[in-house]
Amino acid sequence: MLTDGDSRRPLVVLRGLGKSYREAERERSVLRDVNATIGRGELAVVLGRSGSGKSTLLNLISGIDLPTSGEVMVDGICLTGLSEQARTRFRRRHIGFVFQFYNLIPTLTVEENLLLPLELNGRRDKGRALALLAEVGLADRAASFPDRLSGGEQQRVAVARALVHDPLLVLADEPTGNLDAETGGQVLALLDRLSRAAGKTLVMVTHSVEAAGLADRVFSVQGGHLVERAPLLEDS
């Protein structure tokens, strides 16, 4: 549970982040001097052209990847200062992911997919997994394998999986990118509603104008820089 002091402390702080890749003996810089602070409970959307570095940015925030320079703080912990093992532990415990292509484990049932993030944290809470499945409207598909589900249904399972272990932060990388507009809209509404209901911070990479319309903060990656834009205003 958050105390008042906690709620004022930002959840994600990016300081002077840079990332370059070495390719054919040359350094290619993808992100340069990225600075941002994201508060607890905020929905931040990240826009940007394909190849601009959005996924790279999410991988730095989650600690999957390390920056070439700068630091990433999540919940006051400097991820860039941790060992790989400690970063993995932190990520399993505190971060949930939604990917464009769902990334459910095909050999596990829907229920087993939802139990996995709990088991990785030494918990087994079937009740919680099934309750979240009900929240995403798929209570009757617990025993199904992912390939029996439509794309939209798989993504709803992925939304439940991203939240089941009660993470601090949810990262979504083009979660509606593989869905038609209507199905994508449903997944988006679900992700927004469940994250907000649970008070989660959500950072979502998207091309969807609809998603940007739901956001508290809108950023875009341009020329390696993260630029904040004014959020789209709802009818006012």
Q: Which residues bind ligand ADP (CB under 6 A)?
A: 21, 23, 30, 48, 50-56
Closer to ligand ADP at the Cβ: 14 or 194?
14
Burial label, 182 (beta-carbon count in 10 A; 0-12, 13-18, 19+): exposed
Q: Pick from Mg ion, ligand ADP, none: which does 21 bind, CB < 5 to 8 A by kind?
A: ligand ADP
Using the minimum distance from each CB to Mg ion, give the nearer residue, 132 or 202.
202
* CA dist., res. 214 & res. 220, Å (int): 15
Burial class for 232, CB neighbours closer than 10 Å (0-12, 13-18, 19+): middle
* Smaller CB separation from ligand ADP, 177 or 213: 177
Q: Residue 152 touches which of Mg ion, ligand ADP, none (CB < 5 to 8 A by kind)?
A: none
Q: Which is nearer to Mg ion, 149 or 202 (CB)?
A: 202
Give phi and psi for 200, each to the nearest 5.
-80, 155
Cβ distance to Mg ion smaller for residue 164 or 171: 171
Distance CA 200, CA 170 (A): 7
d(CA 73, CA 65): 14
Q: Which does 101 bind (CB under 5 to 8 A by kind): Mg ion, ligand ADP, none?
A: none
Q: 3-class SS at 226?
A: strand
Q: What torsion do the CA atoms of 98, 70, 12, 174 make, to the nearest 10 degrees?
A: -20
Nearer to Mg ion among residue 64 and residue 138 (C-beta): 64
Closest contact distance (angstroms) between CB of 55 and Mg ion is 3
- The minimum distance between CB 180 and ligand ADP, in angstroms, equals 21
Determine if residue 31 is left, alpha or beta; phi over 0 gives left, psi from -120 to 50 gives alpha, anything else beta: beta
Task: Report the distance separating Cα 43 and Cα 218, nearest Å.
Answer: 9
CB 175, min distance to ligand ADP, A: 13
CB 173 → ligand ADP: shortest distance, Å?
Answer: 7
Q: Kindly state the smallest distance separating residue 102's Cβ from ligand ADP, in Å.
A: 17
- Binding residues for Mg ion, per CB under 5 A? 55
d(CA 157, CA 98): 10
Residue 100 binding result from ligand ADP, Mg ion, none, given CB thresholds of 5 to 8 Å by partner type: none
Find the shortest distance in angstroms from Cβ 53 to ligand ADP. Answer: 4
Q: Residue 62: name its binding partner from ligand ADP, Mg ion, none (Cβ under 5 to 8 Å by kind).
A: none
